[in-house]
Structure 1
């Protein structure tokens, strides 16, 4: 059988297998919509806030107006006590509370410290952070108003007092996430992880199904007549053709659609993605030789997806992960691929900055190629008449 004919047979086996087709084509398209969907608005705004005003003075009302003016907060209700406010938050209609203590204005005018208490529903991290950020900003604005009145009462000019309160003007411009949203932050790494996991599952299902079926009925499938090297090359090329399309869809159209920052050239992206694709392909084929049940690759890869997500370092600080675990995780192709692609594509680093990750991926490609060859040779030898 020629290599071209083998590739066509492999593609037919992939497309005609419902489990593989749903995992590859359905999974990639489904996750492209599912994961970003809850965060399309990027940053939470107008979160409902309950206010407990125990001071009831002009300054406390000014503070409440400042909080309501924040784009992140909407003062939706007032409560007479902290207990009542907690009950309102527990109902699910409100997400946070602000407690202004009794004597708030008096203590500030006397130069004493005043403590504002605020909190929110931490079940949703983005909602909670929006509430805290908005309330901190409102509290600082109120504090500056009191300080301004104090300076003016001591004879300071308005311009001089304003300069003392704001000695410098900070113009912060986000370089890599202009919207400061969730999608440009997490989607680039997550899409690479989806490509990695679906490819491992697809190759695993195909291989495990073939080994299990041959063990059960002794059938003479086309792959039994091939050498391990030819089967390995044909299978890798068949999946590579499919994932070249998927990779272009994720790293091209999806990035553009979701407004993800792209600062790398097409040539650099393709050059870096090549060893990632090859190492994942060979790893999937190698792992497939360990199973004879079609359901096992999906279960194992789905269980491993969350640990891989965390050790990849883009949603959880690597400093909080044990160093031995970080070192071991580098044998997973997705980990150096995510590190390198984020530096190259989102942070605008030159290709020399990802040279270490690129060489590591080529090393993993060679390692998993050898393991895949050994695994296929072992599997084929078991079915030799």
Structure 2
């Protein structure tokens, strides 16, 4: 066998191996010349597109399979990422377009285009693609599930707030009034028994003090369930009250700056923002080890922005990503339900900053 025959045999074997490689993969693969015409196509690509290989060879692939967007609008060649690869020799990966079958139906694809370069010049391209119909369907189902879960969360939060209001009202009106009645009866009893023995008098004073403490506990519990100031005066006074109560209870210095007189928010949005604020302060007590908290409430770009910054140990990336950080997840969900957002940032030893933004309602000009 001569060297020429051996070289020809090697060339034929390489061509056979390349063909076997193209046909053994489940991905669609086709080649293009400089003008975008098909130079080769494997069986997987032909099967997905509904054409025979002969029907596509030497044909303009953009006009055949990539001519329109998912909504049917003409997809101009000048905007096509594959033809950008032919133009500048840079590879690209796309997963938000469709290919069109011979029968006129489309399917979502993920494709990568790679330039073919010979002697420093782009002479064509190779395109590898997958039918991602199942993936897109799964993504749509997942998105729908997330939306349903978010709606369920919103409903559960609404029901929980309604129950809190009801329980707080019952505690305040029923139990509070009953205890006030007991307090009055004790006072009358003490007036009617002015000359009782000192032990009896001391016992009555003790009972009276216990009733007073219980009345204060009832008021505190009712307020924790649903602060009256939030319903009667609105979000801004409620933020002021909660800040003062937090500082009095924990001894942590709070610096509050409010740069607006009123907030145009629905009751639902006001409640959500207030509950987020409460959760932030709870996290400061439980985790931050802070001595000072700076709180800012202001309007920015059509949204109400609450920023709380402490001088504690600082939240870590691990804590932010931890699945057990349900408080952070709850705050994020509350904000998202209202079209808002929340961000957490912090570094070890330099404190944590939480920034909440909720869109403000546009006032009516009627």
TM range (shorter): under 0.3
Give the TM-score taking structure 1 as reference length.
0.25
When Rg is computed on C-alpha atoms for both structures, the one with the higher figure is: 2
Task: Choose between structure 1 and 2: higher strand proportion.
Answer: 2
Higher relative contact order, chain-length normalized (CA < 8 Å, sep 6+): 1
